Structure 1
Amino acid sequence: MGTPHRELDGICALRPAGPQDQVGGVAGSVVATPATTEEVSALLAACHRQRLRVVTRGHGTKIGWGRPPEALDVILETTRLTGPVEHSRGDLIATAGAGTPLARLQEVVGQAGHQLVVDDLVATAGGPGSTLGGAVATNLAGPRRLWTGALRDLVIGVRLVRADGTVAKAGGKVVKNVAGYDLAKLLTGSFGTLAVLTEVTVRLHPQPRAARWVGGHLAPDRLAPVLAGLHRSQLALHGLEVRAVPGGAVEVSALLTGTAAGVGPRATALVEEAPDLAVGTSAPPWWGVLPGATGRTLLRTTARLSGVAELVEVATRHGLEVTGSAGVGVLHAASADVDDGAGGGAGASADVTAAAVDAVRAASVRLGGSTVVLEAPAEVRARVDTWGPVPGLALMGRVKAEFDPRRVLSPGRFVGGL
């Protein structure tokens, strides 16, 4: 079957886009699934010549994050960019294609007792989960960010294709690599607006021998003092999570990992420091799971550590469910509205949600952070600023113009319409 853009025929596997092939309600016309970096290069070169707009997609678990593109012709699907995982056991690094599922990467490196310390927040039972490239594009990070940092701190090298088809590499396959600009960090969290990743090299960590969770339910007014004590703890927490729902108790859970002989006494010592909590052997069911349901408005909101409890209070007071990393001040908040397929959250419901977004954003800015609307029904998006105020926007615009002057890649999806 032919495709609407005959100039792309023969470059890689193509198919006409179907009803499901849209980004933020903007439909594409062609889905391309290149299998090699060379095919990605040829595809982007052709799109650049023809001024076709391209959005990159892995498993599509985060395809609704960010703004809808201002135009869309080609969906570049990375699911064939997998290949074998190159695992350097002695150096604690791994290299994999951008379309490799995170779960598959973890399975391979786990055979040597290693792990990529990234929590797949969007993974669901039986679902595809994130790809490595999709995780990098959105700088995915979950509870264990407190231990090793976000994914941007674990990416040490990438192979990429620029919007005009130029193939380039950044970083390398060793941890100590300081030559040149750190383009790998620049691309991490750029939502596919600067280049298409085809290969990623990441730093690994050993899997711990044992883990304990210390947690419990708190009255809302106990959250601030309990978190303050946990923030001061010298017991090397590897995760500190909070969950709160409007009108309910607040849950706190801390993760300790290490040797079997050492983790138990540390957990006991932590309970002595925080007597509101108790020792457990498994994570709570909400650990590492985004709040809300499909079709909800989802925010990522941040604050300095001393402001986390107040930010949680503001969000729940405005009807939002909250989960997130209280140990680093990065939370996710979700509304109860659901997209019913006809504009979801319409009318008063969208107004209420928009007011909640504004309140949370005002609080987060006052507390030293920011708020981004990751996902929302169309009626809510029309009422809110997705990204909010962003310093350095002019510089970011110049970077976009240098990498993608014709605005081929995901135009309009990122901050300030980049």
Structure 2
Amino acid sequence: MGTDLPAREPLLRALIDICGPDFARRAGAADAVAGRLASFVAAPATTHAVADTMRLAAERGLGVIARGSGSKLDWGTPPPGVDLLLDTRRLDGIWHHDMRGMTAEIGAGTPVKAVQAALALRGRRLAADPPSPSATLGGMLALNETGPLRHRFGTAADQVNHIAYVTRDGEAATSDGENGRPGIAEIDGIILSAHVRLEPLPAARRWVAAPVTTPRDINDLVQATAARHVTPSAIEVDLSATPPTGVLAVLLEGDPDEVADRAARLQKAFGDHATASPLAPPWWGRYPFGHGDVALRIAVPTADLQAAVFALRDVAGMPVPVRGSAGRGVVHAVLPGSLGLERVEGIVDAVRGVLLARGGRCMVISAPRAISEELDMADRRDLF
């Protein structure tokens, strides 16, 4: 905004009038997006309050960013500026839960873990498992964040019938999209809630895992899984930063006796070193990167995943941790944030060149502030 504190007081009072005295304030040190500190934080609790907040922001020319838990605020292209952080965590809850129709309306600010816990009490689940532990429903959908269950059920966006949101101008709207998808990528505003499809909670789950000594093993194990017709819910791979260690794990779900039979058949197909367990591997459903790293998303046909991994390691000149959906060819890789802009650009450009001929993509989804403004970062629409 660039205005001094006295000039900002009327705006703060207006936000307090809309959201309440405990739910609008000046931004603090923790209220930054990609290193840019916001001016204000507001937490409206109703559609009407969100609309009023957005109308006020539009009238004053404020840049607004929605924030749930804040786990992915630094993803993608850094915003040109942020004046107001609109906290969505009061937009929470589950309603219109239709047990027979297997649908429910869920508030954008509801933590996904809370959603799953509540649905589990009624034998249901949302078939989405974002790796960000604190992800809210709105944050997950805004960036189409999807975990291992993507293999069987599709992306987070694929679980949605329609979205209720407020536009940048403060108008309430609903997005039904086309061809069964709600057009989340095209929404320019604040997500209020989502009407989602639910799935039965599986009675049993079992993970069958096999070692991966080279990236070439990945496609062999994926093909072996397909040949056994075991209906996997997920096929994930974890390639360590210190080869030759690596693991491919397959999640099987369903009736206990049926799952046990499928797991036994797949374990036998994987060989003597394969294991089966009712517990997920410790790395399952977690990103290989952390704060301060350069996070890459690679999407390529499964048969060419090995070429992408070899290219990444060759160009980087070092082992690169890779983790993600081997069955769908969508994985994440991590480079040290200390490599610097030119080195990261060179690695990314080289990998993109290898993937181009294979119909694949390599995107930078997160990077340290020192280089993110200069890197070709993923746009929000690239994630759908």
TM-score by length of 2: 0.88
- Tell me what 1:391 maps to: none
Confirm or deny that 1:206 pairs with 2:182: no
**Partner AA of 1:325 in structure 2:** S
The correspondence for 1:137, drawn from 130, 136, 142, is: 142
1:184 CA drift (Å): 5.9
Unaligned runs of 5+ in 2: none
The correspondence for 2:97, drawn from 80, 87, 90, is: 87
1:349 CA drift (Å): 4.3
1:264 CA drift (Å): 1.0
CA offsets 1:375-403 (integer angstroms, 9 cap, x no match) = 1012332553113xxxxxxxxxxxxxxxx
The equivalences for 1:8-407 within 5 A come to: 8-9=14-15, 10-12=17-19, 13-123=23-133, 129-171=134-176, 181=178, 185-187=182-184, 189=185, 194-220=188-214, 221-248=216-243, 249-275=245-271, 277-317=274-314, 318=316, 319-337=319-337, 345=338, 349-387=340-378
1:117 CA drift (Å): 1.3
Asked if structure 1 preserves the Cα contact closer than 8 Å seen for 2:143 and 2:380, the reply is no
Unaligned runs of 5+ in 1: 124-128, 172-179, 338-344, 388-412
Structure 1 CA distance for aligned equivalents of residues 220 and 380 of structure 2: 37
Counterpart secondary structure, 1:91: coil
Asked if structure 2 preserves the Cα contact closer than 8 Å seen for 1:85 and 1:95, the reply is yes
Confirm or deny that 1:4 pairs with 2:8: yes
Identical pairs, percent: 30
Counterpart secondary structure, 1:323: strand
Structure 1 CA distance for aligned equivalents of residues 62 and 374 of structure 2: 29
Structure 2 CA distance for aligned equivalents of residues 170 and 3 of structure 1: 37
**Bigger relative contact order, structure 1 or 2 (CA pairs below 8 A, ≥6 apart):** 1
Counterpart secondary structure, 2:18: coil
Aligned positions, number: 366
1:278 CA drift (Å): 2.9
The 1:264–1:57 alpha-carbon spacing in structure 2 relative to 1, beyond 3 Å, is same
1:89 CA drift (Å): 1.2
Deviates more, 1:81-90 or 1:279-288: 81-90
Structure 1 CA distance for aligned equivalents of residues 113 and 300 of structure 2: 30
Counterpart secondary structure, 2:220: helix
The 1:11–1:109 alpha-carbon spacing in structure 2 relative to 1, beyond 3 Å, is same
Structure 2 CA distance for aligned equivalents of residues 57 and 184 of structure 1: 23
The 1:382–1:16 alpha-carbon spacing in structure 2 relative to 1, beyond 3 Å, is closer
Structure 1 CA distance for aligned equivalents of residues 300 and 204 of structure 2: 31
Structure 2 CA distance for aligned equivalents of residues 3 and 74 of structure 1: 15
Deviates more, 1:222-231 or 1:257-266: 222-231
The 1:37–1:2 alpha-carbon spacing in structure 2 relative to 1, beyond 3 Å, is farther
TM-score by length of 1: 0.82
